């Protein structure tokens, strides 16, 4: 859990303190808190039921850390706007307090929700987020599940209309750039990236730290792709992005087979999730699908973190303007504050009920 202290991260003290607490509590080599051992039986049976019915076509991977009352509303949204063949696999942060009873009620209430019983440290602007998303893939495989596509979502990105499955099925991956709703995709040539990792959050600083992560060089972007002149990293907003599930399984297996591939992600103070999945897919274009599309999430604003969205949240009026946009099925950011400023979450619940009738 060592985190280098040279990077002037705005939340550096909080990250280092959390990692120190975890290291002291679980031991230097114990990175997994298997907090829900009794739920593994429930999850296993649920997975069998899924295989016996629709089999599961698409997997939504989501990371959460909020209170149970918020998770109830969030998973209500994911389930309401998706088809019966879509399964939600959720990772509950190790840093949040959940009782096994609360989680069991949550799972029983949402028939297509599977909770990853292995919980890891997660923090914003940190490699632990991409790590947890990959662990969700591993959990799905452990349960015997297989899917055609893998969709990334976040707890402040909520669906606003149905139809995402047809869009994902047609486009297969989300590597197309769009200025509408900040659904951008950018490539950075390796030749233009600083050779030494440096602090800061400008594009070159971020790319320097991502490239300095050894598995990025040895596994993810270890060659110049066929038909390209230069090697590169690809950056894209991860919320609402989607990729072929078999390709993501290959990424997970490759990092799992590396001596420190997965665990080293917990040491990276940079948002790997914005580059890892897109770079891997962009380096395997032949398997990414010929009609690659855009991310499905309209990025209206940036989250302020738990309880901080007094102003930085999308409103019902703004969502009405976003709804007609083609290829947009979700919006960020939906406020997490208990007060539900502007009634956005309540409005989305009503919208979900209308979509079901």
pLDDT, tens only, 293-325: 999 999 987 655 555 445 578 999 999 999 999
CB 197 within 8 A of CB 150: no
Statement: residue 12 has pLDDT above 60:
no
Asked if the peptide bond before residue 333 counts as cis, ω within 30 degrees of 0, the response is: yes
* Radius of gyration of the chain measured on its C-alpha atoms: 19
Residue with tokens 């030494």, as numbered in its chain: 196
Sign of the CA dihedral 154, 169, 57, 84?
positive
CB 148 within 8 A of CB 115: no
CB 329 within 8 A of CB 163: yes
Instruction: Give the model's pLDDT for residue 114.
Output: 95
Average pLDDT, rounded, for the chain: 87
Instruction: Give the model's pLDDT for residue 5.
Output: 35
State the fold for domain 19-192+237-294: Spore Coat Polysaccharide Biosynthesis Protein SpsA; Chain A (3.90.550)
Statement: residue 263 has pLDDT above 60:
yes
Name the residue ranges covered by the structural domains of the chain. 19-192+237-294
CA–CA gap between residue 27 and residue 353 (Å, rounded): 47
Q: How far is CA 103 from CA 43, 60, 63, 106, 120, in A?
A: 11, 18, 14, 5, 16
Statement: residue 25 has pLDDT above 90:
no
Tokens of 47: 């997975």
Statement: residue 77 has pLDDT above 50:
yes
Among candidates 105, 66, 78, which has minimal Cα distance to 338? Answer: 66
Tokens of 186: 């950018």
pLDDT, tens only, 142-175: 999 999 999 999 999 999 999 999 999 999 999 9
Mean pLDDT (whole number) for 107-116: 93
The per-residue b/e assignment along 302-322, b for 16 or more CB within 10 angstroms, e otherwise, is ebbeeeebeebbbeeeebeeb
Statement: residue 270 has pLDDT above 90:
yes
Instruction: Give the model's pLDDT for residue 228.
Output: 93
Q: How confident is the model at residue 2 (pLDDT cuts 50, 70, 90)?
A: very low
């Amino acid at each position: 859990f060592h985190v280098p202290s040279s990077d002037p991260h705005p939340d550096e003290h909080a990250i280092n303190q959390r990692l120190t607490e975890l290291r002291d509590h679980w031991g230097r080599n114990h990175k997994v808190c298997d907090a829900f051992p009794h739920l593994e039986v429930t999850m296993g049976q649920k997975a069998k039921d899924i295989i016996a019915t629709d089999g599961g076509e698409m997997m939504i991977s989501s990371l959460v850390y909020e209170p149970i009352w918020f998770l109830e509303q969030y998973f209500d949204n994911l389930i309401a706007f998706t088809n019966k063949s879509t399964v939600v696999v959720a990772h509950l942060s190790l840093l949040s307090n959940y009782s096994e009873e609360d989680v069991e009620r949550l799972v029983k209430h949402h028939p297509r929700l599977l909770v990853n019983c292995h919980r890891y440290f997660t923090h914003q602007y940190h490699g632990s987020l991409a790590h947890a998303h990959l662990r969700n893939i591993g959990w799905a495989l452990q349960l015997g599940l297989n899917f055609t596509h893998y969709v990334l979502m976040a707890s402040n990105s909520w669906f606003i209309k149905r139809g995402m499955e047809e869009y994902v099925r047609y486009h297969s991956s989300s590597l197309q750039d769009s200025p509408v709703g900040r659904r951008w995709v950018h490539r950075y040539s390796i030749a233009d990236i600083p050779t030494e990792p440096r602090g800061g959050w400008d594009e070159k600083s971020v790319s320097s730290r991502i490239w300095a992560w050894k598995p990025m060089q040895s596994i993810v972007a270890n060659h110049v792709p066929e038909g390209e002149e230069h090697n590169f990293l690809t950056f894209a907003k991860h919320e609402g992005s989607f990729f072929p599930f078999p390709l993501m399984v290959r990424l997970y297996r490759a990092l799992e087979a590396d001596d420190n591939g997965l665990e080293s992600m917990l040491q990276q103070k940079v948002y790997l999730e914005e580059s890892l999945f897109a770079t891997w897919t962009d380096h395997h274009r032949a398997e990414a699908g010929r009609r690659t599309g855009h991310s499905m999430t309209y990025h209206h604003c940036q989250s302020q973190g738990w309880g901080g969205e007094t102003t930085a949240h999308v409103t019902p009026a703004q969502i009405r303007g976003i709804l007609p946009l083609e290829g947009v099925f979700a919006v960020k950011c939906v406020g997490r504050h208990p007060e539900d400023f502007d009634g956005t979450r309540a409005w989305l619940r009503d919208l979900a009920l209308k979509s079901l009738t």
